[in-house]
Chain A
């Protein structure tokens, strides 16, 4: 305060002006970065902004996007779910087998129920031990290992081909995965913002002890959230094999990390209690556009991994920077 009164007025104004621009850039840095990326990519390859390519980008990210919706619920409650990749693998195999044996709808429902069941069991353990991030990390990693083994056992380690006709095969065709992904984002956003359940999820994530004391049955919420995550992972596990008309016992390996990356790049904190599905949508699009732009610039997949890691760290660092500044201002205001 003292320094600003001492220094000449003109320099203060210019400083404020600059500060404001920096502030805006900082706040919307992710969107700015996305726009710059799109412009650069479009400059190198004009077809980048064609309708066909935009649809292509959305199609590529739709499975990760669906998965990221479930992950968003889990992360908002302050946990993590590493098991979803293996859930994709196993439900992909189960859905193809069951659709062949029982028909389209019973097969799809069975696969969804199976995913929900795995999530339910993880949720039961988490509720019983009243775990948070650390415990959920270990428990869902255990589930990931076990389910990956189970996927290999169920499939016999083989590829499975699905029929190329019928309802199941149409789920992944054309723009359907995009529609499913965007609809899911919308439903989840309305759900978390407009219902008591949604508000309690934020409460649970921000402060589980306070949530418990105020009469929320946090154990039941943990079970529900993990069940939801399992069911949504199963949905991704149905879309993926439907799109490629085949399932593979290792199809889902690494998907959980991509989903987590999308969620945190979108600006949702791992400490829980904050974030919306618009963040998730943003993160998914950034990851998708980045991958597509790098493909167009002929960057091969290994350097892409290096860049992806740096982008995750940069996006989260930026988010932390924003957070610390806004919290600092709040402290000043209170004082």
Chain B
């Protein structure tokens, strides 16, 4: 019995690694072009921008909250960034983008931590408003601006790896260190694990519930700027699936939606699983609609496994 339990435990703790290895093995048998350097770089590049947001989302989910508005915020930031860069220059664009990100974070944080609205409703209302703002600002049309420096930032590479992949790795590393080795990180876990106990232990839970949304806003605006640089374009359609993909990646990695558990490394692995999966569906030539069906079913399966292994089943 004990052995069986410990085997189950090992599987539970490393299920995302097993899934990743399984996927890679199956795909390298099915397709010769999968396990090539260029395809691996391709996968990493594709998950980088969403992966950066996923780092901040890990903080939020560990703290027991999540944010639906990141997709709309990303769209607004790409638009404002491109527009400001075109008219007022790069520095003004960066400042305006970060300001918007911080402002949205402060509003979300205020609504959730002070007014105590559930994160779902608070961020849903911001999501609707920001999407309306993005559409209103551009009248639904993409806006474009090509600048060599910005293009290079988004598309250039160093030692074969694009800059944005380094940024992604950087965010993962910093998130991992913050979560694992700082007081801030430990207090996040405590707040997400059991808010009342955390409060009694003297942790300012309202502050933590507030600050994670500000972090999310700032990081999302950073991701939006990178996306604008990469695509030389601002578009109200960008980031439509960002919130869901990122939450899915965090959960697939094994960070529990109920809060108090998780790590940045797990999110990295979850993001890789999603990237490999989408890449595999593309390489195998699965039709787009069937891709949706498969993605949906996989999400349900993963959440079920997560709930099952966390002892709720």
**Footprint of B on A, CB under 8 Å?**
80, 125, 128-131, 133-135, 137-139, 141-150, 152-153, 157, 257, 260-261, 264, 269-271, 302-310, 312-313, 316-317, 320-321, 324
Contacts and interface: CB of A to CB of B under 8 A. Distances in A.
B136 A306 contact: yes
Contacts of A147: 296
Interface residues of B, number: 47
Contact of B296 (A145, A261, A310, A324): A145
A102 B218 CA distance: 56
Given A139-B304, A303-B136, A309-B128, A131 B312 contact: yes
16 contacts: A137-B120, A138-B247, A141-B299, A142-B295, A142-B296, A142-B298, A142-B299, A143-B296, A147-B296, A149-B288, A261-B128, A264-B121, A306-B128, A312-B124, A313-B121, A320-B116
Contacts of A157: 289
Interface string B255-298: 00110000000000000000000000000000011111111111
Nearest to B301: A142
B210 to A, nearest CB: 15
Contact of A257 (B116, B128, B129, B292): B128
Given A138-B251, A149-B292, A313-B111, A270 B135 contact: no
B121 A270 contact: yes
A302 B133 CA distance: 7
B122 interface: yes
B124 A260 contact: yes
Given A129-B308, A141-B248, 18 more contacts: A131-B307, A138-B247, A138-B257, A142-B300, A146-B295, A146-B297, A148-B296, A149-B288, A150-B289, A261-B124, A261-B128, A305-B128, A305-B133, A308-B128, A308-B132, A309-B130, A313-B126, A317-B117
Nearest to B291: A149
Contacts of A320: 115-117
B124 A308 contact: no
A152 B292 CA distance: 10
Nearest to A310: B129
B194 interface: no
Nearest to A138: B303
B202 interface: no
A303 B132 contact: yes
A303 B304 CA distance: 39
B126 A125 contact: no
Nearest to A82: B244
B251 to A, nearest CB: 6
Nearest to A150: B293
Contacts of A128: 304, 308, 313
A280 to B, nearest CB: 15
A313 to B, nearest CB: 4
B132 A312 contact: no
Interface in B91-127: 111, 115-118, 120-122, 124-127
B149 interface: no
B121 A316 contact: yes
Contact of A317 (B111, B248, B258, B300): B111
Contact of B132 (A131, A141, A257, A305): A305
Contacts of B291: 149
A324 B288 CA distance: 48
Nearest to A149: B292
B132 A130 contact: no
A309 B125 contact: yes
B140 interface: yes
